[in-house]
A and B are shown apart, each in its own frame.
Chain A
């Protein structure tokens, strides 16, 4: 690597175009919504940047509930719900993704790339199409209910009609469908970093622990999991952040009260036409994202320092 001073011409010729693009079509747009979030709406499309904090305060606003004395913090509730559903999705994805990553890790070299490809391939299919594909599965007369009905009728026949008729589960337009959709969409995301971390782990560590008398479960918890920790941490991030800002699953699979933060933002910029408020919500989402990334950086640094001491 050389200092930029040694070859200024090449440095600027190579550096300026991408920097220009980043500044104009990435940083400038972010700056504009940052400015809008401190603005006020005047007229239909005009926004005055007055430095008001109203849009931020509105996030915490308590809206009175009709017919009762209480009030609910509508937007704050949606933030919590988004965090909770993204967290739940991440947890399920890691729980399911870890065995999948282990399976690929322990597979023979001949099978490894194919198993990995099988997991990654759906990830390359259009996100919208995969979400749409779930509608047919989750509907009242969809494939999951049909499968359950067949099982139910089988059990019913075995127990001489003790179970009665099958009532299809209501899955579409619920929060269940939203989380199901998120797990479906983000699972390949989770498996990749887990597998990448496992791949760096030497088989002999596990052999040694088994030789020294550890059972399979003990070897898993005391050897594999701690050594795969960096992978688990990046799997957490890579699943949680897109899940937190997801738009399509609540939009297509959820019901009217399944909206997550991205849907509220979309509404502010489209139908509600309240750009300052939408900008403030977007910035909050950005801050949460940065906070999560900073947290991960902090823990990974601490882990590294800890590792050096040991």
Chain B
């Protein structure tokens, strides 16, 4: 039998102290989520003991017409805001990467501001804004989602811009020069050389924007009307009203969707050679 090699001085990760802290942290982070998922299969109506096994709550959640509408709203908003965010984000990235212009540091600061400021401030500001300019109300679906969509774009496209800019940072400008030397005009050079290089960043940024929109509660809370309930808003009102495993089933569906999308985003981002630059 092979003996385990002795712990080298720097192999702190093999020391029990650090390992036990790490495992305790994982329990802390995951236990509530697993308990939440486990209750979605529980037969009991009350969330005290997990009893039996049933898919009934999923059936109930999927049949709930309010939840269906909330689901449709959330996805429509997420698709629209992602499409706009990707275009605007790519433009911002291109602008900051390519050009020198007066007050550029100020502009860069303003671009990241929507990421930095507390969500509640942006939420109430947008609420006041839409009320003040008399944004049309009571439009037919999906036009009634325009307020929420516009708001989601406002905080999503800066994220896309940062991801795409990180991707552009390792672009070899000689490729563009070569294309132009070979007779490509300005637009063909952007379309055929720069955009293909951006592509992994665009996809990863798009998926990021999609999950941000799908998950957002606070800003949606302030920019939605009575007939534009999204999935997180519906879950919130269900939690406030009464806590049943139906909420857990609905939550589990959303968790699975976000985790799948995020895994996809990280995989694509990993392929493009850079982890998502959260934090800086």
Contacts and interface: CB of A to CB of B under 8 A. Distances in A.
A278 B91 contact: no
User: What 7 pairs across the A-B complex have the smallest Cβ distances?
Assistant: A245-B118, A29-B125, A29-B129, A133-B32, A4-B101, A133-B36, A106-B13
A1 B128 contact: no
B95 interface: yes
B235 A129 contact: yes
Nearest to B280: A234
A247 B28 CA distance: 22
Interface string B235-266: 11001000100010001001100110010001
A25 B116 contact: no
B35 interface: yes
Given A187-B25, A269-B222, A102 B12 contact: yes
Contacts of B258: 124-126
Given A102-B12, A196-B279, A127 B215 contact: yes
A238 B112 CA distance: 13
Interface stretch (A54-62, A115-123, A148-156): A115-123
Given A121-B259, A126-B255, A187-B25, A285 B128 contact: no
Given A247-B120, A286-B117, A7 B186 contact: yes
A289 B118 contact: yes
B121 A282 contact: yes
B29 interface: yes
Given A3-B99, A103-B12, A187-B25, A25 B32 contact: no
B235 to A, nearest CB: 6
Among B95, B121, B153, B161, chain A packs the most CB atoms within 10 A around the CB of B121
B80 interface: no
Given A128-B217, A129-B251, A18 B120 contact: no
B124 A134 contact: no
A33 to B, nearest CB: 5
B247 A262 contact: no
A264 to B, nearest CB: 10
Contacts of B178: none
Contacts of A206: 10
Given A4-B101, A282-B121, A106 B18 contact: yes
7 contacts: A22-B110, A22-B114, A106-B18, A111-B13, A187-B28, A188-B29, A192-B279
B211 interface: yes
A1 B101 CA distance: 10
Q: How large is the interface on B (under 10, 10 to 19, 20 to 34, 35 or more residues)?
A: 35 or more
Contacts of B191: none
Contact of A10 (B12, B186, B235, B279): B186
Given A15-B95, A124-B211, A269-B124, A130 B32 contact: yes
A135 B244 CA distance: 12
Q: How large is the interface on A (under 10, 10 to 19, 20 to 34, 35 or more residues)?
A: 35 or more
A125 B254 CA distance: 8
A266 B128 CA distance: 12
B69 interface: no
Contacts of B101: 3-4, 11
A43 interface: no
Given A15-B95, A129-B251, A129-B254, A136 B32 contact: yes
Interface of A: 1-4, 7, 9-11, 14-15, 17-18, 21-22, 25-30, 32-33, 36, 45, 96, 99-100, 102-104, 106-108, 111, 113, 115, 117-119, 121-122, 124-130, 132-137, 141, 143, 184, 187-189, 192-193, 196, 203, 206-207, 210, 234-235, 238, 241-242, 244-245, 247-248, 252, 262, 265-266, 269, 275, 278-279, 282, 285-286, 289, 293
A32 B129 contact: yes
A242 B39 CA distance: 29
A126 B215 contact: yes
A4 B254 CA distance: 44
A26 B128 contact: no
Nearest to A99: B21
A266 B28 CA distance: 30
B164 to A, nearest CB: 12
Contact of B117 (A269, A279, A289): A289
B22 interface: yes
B122 interface: yes
Contacts of A118: 26
B171 to A, nearest CB: 12
A241 B118 CA distance: 7
B35 A133 contact: yes
A170 to B, nearest CB: 17
Contacts of A128: 215, 217, 232, 235-236, 239
Nearest to B107: A19
Contacts of A252: 239
Contacts of A265: 120-121, 124
B128 A275 contact: yes
Nearest to B233: A128
A17 B95 CA distance: 11
Interface in B121-157: 121-122, 124-129, 131-132, 150-151, 153-154, 157
B9 A25 contact: no
